[in-house]
Structure 1
């Protein structure tokens, strides 16, 4: 009888421990979501932001939010390797409006043998952008935004200043994001890219459809997920699959790691991308 009682007590203890662990995870999720949304005006819904084609600012941004990003990437092309680097600053001057300035660089090196046809290194463009969250619904855990990116395309370093600005890219976009329960996140980012070449006076239009799905780890800002970057260029369709993860290194410092796997690109092979995210003024609650 004593042995039976001990077994029953151990079973009850194990079940109660498991149940408390499950409650703890749920409480962590609820507490972190509440930390972000915290029932202040204006309302804000926690969403996982993709790491490669990122947003201008959090959906439902609140006045005073700001963030620095530094990105480093490597793409293995058939004839040469390309290294990308970017510096961007984003901030919210008023509630629900995000602004961004970005400087993207690209550097090239021969892949195996010397090749005179590789492009010249360059500061690709000066990008300025705005994003307005026009719909934020906490009960539905859904947010929507409209935005616009303008890129002043610059000449490469080999011909720098001849001319200084050689073209412009007009890029309006639409974003809709939905959180499913506490952990699962989905997002669609889409819009046309209209490129104008000042010397030829010609326009070239492509259309991007970027979708992402993420699982956010309980009680943290860490997540794992996948980003699908799709481009339609007349009758040509390209897609790159980008598995990714984000880790919190410090309270106000995050690191994002992205791999790129092209599905239907003729000249591009595997790629990788690293994003450092620093949020000055961010305080743990």
Structure 2
């Protein structure tokens, strides 16, 4: 079943580029970019946002913008499957400042005859609070840059819930640099260290993330196809997951993103899939 699901995702990813008419390309793109960038103030550049490691808010966010996200994912492991679910709300209280609250859950199921006791306990992973400030918006160069910070209060798993409730903390400052090339091609780098603190031991464990993405936005729409490279340096070892993805608009305010995960290094984690439902209430 999982193989079929992943095959459908990959097939959709390959075929979507052919589902949109390419007539009147330059006119449609120009009108859409004009609508996002020039018909409203302050200045803002249209960028494609990665779907798995997403931004706190659009780069150059305008006051009053807001967005709801619901995500569902499946990861195939050697001894168990993990299912992730998240709900997040992001908004811009002032121009160029984005805030976010997220609740990510993870559930586990044994595979290949594994005993339930050998599988990690289900849990609400954390309470995630985040902020992102876009300090550079350059329309002539189609470039934006932002600094941000994510703080995760790690919650004990359901098996040990309340003993304690908060078992650790993750401190994650980050930098985002994005550039659009012409009307359709988008690149983005999202990078920063993560400091993991387990309150039982008190020591910090440091990792470093380098997330890069490349997208092609379909002419005259917010739909895109692309790929995201999620890389983590941990104890001088590099872990890389390639995530081909696409985003499709269902209505004016509703979009769906579909992501496949392909690990480069062999290990416990194998193929994965992720779906993100994105709802943006009308911005007045």
Q: Same fold (TM over 0.5)?
A: yes
- Cα distance in 1 between the residues matched to 2:55 and 2:32: 21
Q: 1:122 matched to which residue of 2?
A: 123
Question: 1:238–1:265: 8 Å Cα contact kept in structure 2?
Answer: no
Question: 1:244–1:256: 8 Å Cα contact kept in structure 2?
Answer: yes
Instruction: Please state if 1:24 is matched with 2:21.
Output: no
Q: 1:96 matched to which residue of 2?
A: 96
Q: CA 1:74–1:38 in structure 2 vs 1: closer, same or farther (change >3 Å)? A: same
Q: What is the CA distance between 1:266 and its match in structure 2?
A: 1.3
- Cα distance in 1 between the residues matched to 2:191 and 2:36: 26
Question: 2:67–2:278: 8 Å Cα contact kept in structure 1?
Answer: yes
- Cα distance in 1 between the residues matched to 2:154 and 2:214: 31
Deviations 1:243-270 (A, max 9, x none): 0000000110000000000001411000
Question: 1:252–1:282: 8 Å Cα contact kept in structure 2?
Answer: no
Matched position secondary structure for 2:250? strand
**Corresponding residue pairs, total:** 263
Deviations 1:50-79 (A, max 9, x none): 000000000000000000000000000010
Deviations 1:133-182 (A, max 9, x none): 00000000000000000000000000001000000000000000000000
Q: CA 1:221–1:76 in structure 2 vs 1: closer, same or farther (change >3 Å)? A: same
Superposition map of 1:1-285 within 5 A: 24-115=24-115, 116-282=117-283
Q: What is the CA distance between 1:282 and its match in structure 2?
A: 4.8
Question: 1:145–1:175: 8 Å Cα contact kept in structure 2?
Answer: yes
Deviations 1:82-105 (A, max 9, x none): 000000000000000000000000
Question: 2:22–2:219: 8 Å Cα contact kept in structure 1?
Answer: no
- Cα distance in 2 between the residues matched to 1:169 and 1:73: 22
- Cα distance in 1 between the residues matched to 2:24 and 2:243: 32
- Taking structure 2 as the reference length, the TM-score comes to 0.91
Gaps of 5+ in 1: 1-20
Q: What is the CA distance between 1:27 and its match in structure 2?
A: 0.6
Question: 1:47–1:59: 8 Å Cα contact kept in structure 2?
Answer: yes
Matched position secondary structure for 1:36? helix
Mark the structure with the bigger radius of gyration. Answer: 1
Query: Which of 178-187 and 115-124 deviates more?
Result: 115-124
Matched position secondary structure for 2:30? helix
Deviations 1:101-129 (A, max 9, x none): 00000000001213221100000000000
Gaps of 5+ in 2: 1-20
